[in-house]
């Protein structure tokens, strides 16, 4: 994108467990003045928000610059002419992964991901499922071969986390790094057992 534009990041939240990862990413992006976020939550993501957090849907929507309904296939982010700096699907359900891998854009999250693929823009997927079946692995491998960055929420322990937020911060750091957004979301490995 041209330098005069703010960074535009699309965030898709699906019905897999792990809504906390999306919320943390949105909070950290909201704290950066030159980043504009475009948020889409699936219906099951909304259900998980109520199950897994104490935040309301209104509170989460306020963390984003723009929000869309997942059925709105006429939204700006459904078009390749909408310039952006990347899309993150966090967490990504295996249903969504399968849909993207097969080019089945039946909702806005899948369509925006399909646009990222066809326009060769950055697409990051945070798959949240275990154990992974061969079918799951094949779909993720297919997407990785197409240039999608797969960043599962796998915790690190070299920084001696003491609470859940420490683990979430590490994941958000990985996502911000992948988006080329400078951050200090979590301690970094410095070598020889030192973190900073």
Is 174 known to sit in a ligand binding site?
A: yes
Is 81 known to sit in a ligand binding site?
A: no
CA distances from 84 to 35, 87, 90, 147 (A): 11, 8, 17, 17
Is 94 known to sit in a ligand binding site?
A: yes
Tokens of 146: 């197409």
Which of 177, 32, 4, 53 is closest to 13 using CA atoms?
53
Q: Using CA atoms, how far apart are residues 88 and 170, in angstroms rounded to an integer?
A: 16
Is 42 known to sit in a ligand binding site?
A: yes
Is 78 known to sit in a ligand binding site?
A: no
Is 16 known to sit in a ligand binding site?
A: yes
Count CB-CB contacts under 10 A for residue 188. 14
Cβ atoms of residues 34 and 109 within 8 Å: no
Is 145 known to sit in a ligand binding site?
A: no
Is 28 known to sit in a ligand binding site?
A: no
Reduced to 3 states (helix: H, G, I; strand: E, B; else coil), residue 97 is helix
Is 188 known to sit in a ligand binding site?
A: no
Cβ atoms of residues 9 and 85 within 8 Å: yes
Is 95 known to sit in a ligand binding site?
A: yes
Binding site feature residues: 15-17, 42, 93-96, 128, 158, 174
Binding-site positions for FMN: 15-17, 42, 93-96, 128
Annotated binding-site residue numbers for dimethylallyl phosphate: 158, 174
């Amino acid at each position: 994108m041209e330098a005069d534009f703010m960074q535009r990041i699309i965030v898709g939240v699906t019905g897999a467990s792990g809504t906390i990862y999306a919320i943390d990413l949105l909070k950290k992006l909201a704290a950066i003045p030159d980043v504009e976020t475009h948020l889409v939550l699936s219906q099951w993501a909304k259900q998980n928000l109520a199950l897994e957090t104490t935040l309301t849907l209104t509170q989460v929507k306020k963390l984003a610059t723009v929000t869309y309904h997942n059925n709105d296939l006429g939204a700006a982010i459904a078009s390749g002419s909408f310039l952006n700096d990347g899309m993150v699907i966090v967490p990504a359900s295996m249903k969504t992964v399968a849909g993207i891998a097969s080019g089945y854009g039946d909702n806005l999250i899948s369509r925006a991901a399909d646009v990222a693929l066809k326009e060769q823009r950055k697409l990051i997927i945070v798959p949240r499922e275990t154990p992974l079946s061969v079918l799951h692995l094949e779909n993720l491998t297919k997407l990785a071969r197409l240039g999608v960055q797969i960043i599962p929420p796998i915790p690190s322990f070299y920084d001696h986390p003491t609470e859940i937020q420490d683990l979430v911060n590490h994941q958000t750091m990985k996502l911000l790094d992948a988006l080329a957004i400078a951050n200090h979301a979590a301690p970094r490995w410095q070598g020889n057992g030192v973190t900073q």
